Amino acid sequence: MKYEPESAITQLILDKALLIKIRLESAKRAEIQSLIDTFRCSVIDVGPSSIIVQIVGNSEKNDAFLQLIRSYGILEVTRTGETAMNRG
């Protein structure tokens, strides 16, 4: 592992990606879509009874989305590890 000065570390963009399969009921579709839009998620797939969305962000953003969407019924979740890239 290469040593990076503290100033170099603060210049990193660190993100994780999640794929989330959510139970989809027609009566709740607008509420779910509102959360998807608010958190800038991407809709990957829509089926008759579920929707798969992708969210990319830091752990706090991703965990906040999971907390809010949990009440609609999370069917499945996959996460990547943290990815990083220097700014600029």
* Single-letter amino acid code for the residue at 19: L
Provide the β-strand partners of residue 37: none
Rounded-to-integer distance, Cα 58 and Cα 73, Å: 22
CATH 3.40.50.2000 describes domain 6-86:
no
Given a cut of 70, whether residue 27 has pLDDT beyond it is yes
Kindly state the average pLDDT of the residues 77-88: 91
Of 7 and 33, more confident: 33
| Ranges of each domain in the chain | 6-86
Task: Identify the H or E element spanning 59.
Answer: helix 59-69
Percent of the chain with pLDDT over 90: 77
What would the pLDDT profile of 65-78 be if each residue is shown by its tens digit? 999 999 999 999 99
CA 3 to mean position of chain CA atoms: 30
